[in-house]
Structure 1
Amino acid sequence: MASPPVIEPVRRSFVLLEALSRRRTSTVSVLVEETGLPRPTVLRLLQTLMAVGYAARVSREQGYRLTDRVLGLSGSIRFIDHLVDAAIPHMSRFTADHGWPLYLATLSYGAITIRHSTAPESPMSFETAGVNQRRSMLQSALGRVWLAFCSGEERGTILRDIGGLGVRQQAALDQALQRIRRAGHAFTPPNRSSLNGMAVPIRHRQRMLGGVSMRFPRSVMDEAQAAARYARPLAQMARAVASDVAGRISR
């Protein structure tokens, strides 16, 4: 796949933002040297950053600094920290009570990304923790549960980002997502892997915050057995995590 085109003024703006972030204040001369950008370009970009509130001039001698408005750009990263911190004790308790490893995930650039796992704590784990590994939206339980419970607008965006589906594929997926919504959980589609996953959504006010999946060998139990034994405790755990996340965000 070809690399997307780079919009040069945007690239230069981020180069300058990165240079400004390295110290409390920076003079124009230092920024020119660190970025390799022409002095007139640096000055124009600084004027733009000040106009939109991301930079401020301290003095002639000290130069320029970033403002606290840049902290808003990391809001989603801080949210993931809140989610992981809230989920850890609940996930550990579930694994201690039931034995099976759990995987917490969020959406990132058209794929599911693992944020935390209790695999190291599980006596029945057959995999590593896999933190930061990416999973398919269509071929993983976590991806399918996200697609089932996110908004229609978000679902459309995700499917477009991964290349779209044919008419028959879309119809089959729509039916699968309806079944997932009725059940409240999703399983990994049949494949060659000996492991299955059962995922439930973590939601707050109808918004998807994340998903959590329990992984187990297909030879140990089928999907009906897994649902009968673990659907309720998994859903209860997910609701507890969502409640804790909401409390952390509101503080």
Structure 2
Amino acid sequence: MASFTPIRAVERAIDVLAALNRSPVCTLDTLYRQTGIPKPTLVRLLETLEGKGLVTRAPQYGAYGLTSGVRQLSSGYHGEPRLVEASRRPMDELTRKFKWPIALAVPDYDAVVIRYSTIPSSPLSLLHSSINMRLSLMTRALGRVYLAACTAQECRALLDILKASGDPEDAVAGQPRVVQAMLRQIRQQGYALRVPGVKPVSNTLAVPIFEGRRAVASAGLTWIASAISEEQAVKKFLPPMQEMAQRIGERLSAL
């Protein structure tokens, strides 16, 4: 629930844009019937939107239509924002069930970066926030599972980048046999865990997220290592995490 009274003028402006979106050209009478907004108010709204480059007056007297300027309103809605929207509810629901925090990570050059986290909803998190945290593709569960799930071409390119990395966590990238064995194991089991010895106070179980057949992100549930063993965590968390990832993929397609 909102903590304030909604701004009526904003609500009406959105109603007008939605009505115009349903028809290439709308007369004032049509807009009045669809929105219920008084005509004098409609005229003021339309002239305001026209001044912002979102609406144009059609050749027919009293008729209006959208301009290509409305595309600016959705130009930022792609990639990560769409992914976060698709992921938020399934991730939040799973954290409410298990209490442990879950993070969503996307590839960013030589690492993955956390773009959404359920830490605020988790009473068991060790961190206050993990948003924008960069994680190694070689040692961290979220990075390892993405590297294993992405296309062969992308994987080769990422490994070439990692070989030149000065980050100690990326050092294993220079050992092809070790890397290939790691990736083969992750692909076979369908999940990744954090490399032992890296932040040993906790551990993460991560699964890939696909849009169609293409890996676009990874999601990982983190727990305190002293509370649950790896074997217990895999048995308890893997099936619901895989189900969650599938739901996210379906929601991505719907969006």
TM-score, normalised via structure 1 length: 0.66
Moved more, 182-191 or 217-226: 217-226
AA aligned to 1:246 is S
Aligned to 1:56: none
Relative to structure 1, the CA distance from residue 224 to residue 243 in structure 2 (aligned partners, 3 Å threshold; closer, same or farther) is: same
Relative to structure 1, the CA distance from residue 78 to residue 220 in structure 2 (aligned partners, 3 Å threshold; closer, same or farther) is: same
* Alignment partners' CA distance in 2, 1:168 and 1:114: 25
Aligned to 2:217: 210
* Alignment partners' CA distance in 2, 1:82 and 1:163: 32
Matched, 1:142 2:148: no
Aligned to 1:114, what secondary structure does the other structure show?
strand
* Alignment partners' CA distance in 2, 1:173 and 1:222: 25
Counterpart selection for 1:225 from 232, 249, 255 = 232
Aligned to 1:133: 133
Aligned to 1:102: 102
Map 1:18-167 → 2, pairs under 5 A:
78-163=78-163
* Alignment partners' CA distance in 2, 1:187 and 1:100: 15
Runs of at least 4 residues off by over 6 Å: 165-168
Aligned to 2:222, what secondary structure does the other structure show?
strand
Matched, 1:185 2:195: no
Structural RMSD (CA): 2.1
Aligned to 1:239: 246
* Alignment partners' CA distance in 2, 1:207 and 1:153: 12
2:141 and 2:194 in contact (8 A); partners too: yes
* Alignment partners' CA distance in 1, 2:178 and 2:225: 23
- Residues 72-102 of structure 1: per-residue CA shift (max 9 Å, x gap): xx67x72110000111111110000111100
Aligned residues: 178
* Alignment partners' CA distance in 1, 2:245 and 2:107: 16
Unmatched tracts of structure 1, length 5 or more? 1-66
* Alignment partners' CA distance in 2, 1:159 and 1:167: 6
Unmatched tracts of structure 2, length 5 or more? 1-67, 165-170
* Alignment partners' CA distance in 2, 1:166 and 1:103: 24
TM-score, normalised via structure 2 length: 0.65
Aligned to 2:182: 176
2:209 and 2:249 in contact (8 A); partners too: yes
Aligned to 1:145, what secondary structure does the other structure show?
helix
Aligned to 2:219, what secondary structure does the other structure show?
strand
Which has more radius of gyration? 2
1:118 and 1:129 in contact (8 A); partners too: no
AA aligned to 2:207 is V
AA aligned to 1:215 is T
Per-residue deviation at 1:168? Answer: 7.0
* Alignment partners' CA distance in 2, 1:167 and 1:198: 21
